[in-house]
Amino acid sequence: MTDLLFEDEVPGDAGAPPARMRTLDPWVVMIVDDDVAVHQVTQLVMSDFEFSGRRLLFLDAYSAAEAREILKERQDVALILLDVVMEHEHAGLDLAKYIREDLGNTHTRIVLRTGQPGQAPEEHVIKTYDINDYKEKTELTKRKLITVFYSALRSYRDIMIIDQSRQALRRSIDAITKVYDSQNLRRFASSVLEQVARLLGLEAQGLCASRIAAYAASHVEGRLKVLAATAEYSALLVDEDLAQLPKEVREAIDHALDTQGNVFEEHRFVGYYRSSTGNESLLYMSFSEPVDASARELLEIFCANVSITYESLLLREEIQETQRSTVYIIGEAVERRSKETGAHVRRVGELSALLAEKSGLPPGEVEFMLQAAPLHDVGKIAIPDHVLNKPGKHDAEEWAIMQTHARVGFELLNKSEKRILKLGAIIAHEHHERWDGQGYPRGLAGAQIHIAGRIVALADVLDALVSHRCYKAPWQFEEALSYIREQSGRQFDPDLVTLLMQNLDAVKSIYERHPDA
Q: What DSSP designation does 50 have?
A: -
In DSSP terms, which residues pair with 270 in a beta bridge? 263, 284
Active site (annotated) includes residue 422? no
Catalytic residue among 137, 225, 358, 380: 380
CA distance 150 to 509: 62
Closest CA to 207 of 235, 184, 183: 235
Q: How far is CA 241 from CA 9, 62, 234, 252, in A?
A: 48, 50, 11, 16
SS3 content of the chain, % helix, strand, coil (to 5): 55, 15, 30
Helices (H) and strands (E) counted in the chain, each on its own, are 18, 10
Q: What is the side-by-side order of every strand in the sheet holding 263-265?
A: 224-229, 204-211, 280-287, 268-274, 263-265
**195/201 Cα distance (integer angstroms):** 10
Give the count of beta carbons closer than 10 Å to the beta carbon of residue 416. 12
The CA dihedral of 247, 250, 251, 257, to the nearest 10 degrees, is: -170
What are the C-alpha distances in Å from 281 to residues 157, 253, 422?
Answer: 32, 10, 39
Distance, CA of 100 to CA of 107 (rounded, Å): 9
| End-to-end CA, the chain | 90
Of the candidates 155, 117, 156, 151, the residue with the CA atom closest to the CA atom of residue 136: 117
Q: Distance (Å, rounded) from C-alpha 480 to C-alpha 475?
A: 6
Nearest C-alpha neighbor of 29 from the set 145, 141, 121, 128: 145
Identity of residue 80:
I
Q: Are 3 and 53 in contact (CB under 8 A)?
A: no
Cite the active site residues: 380
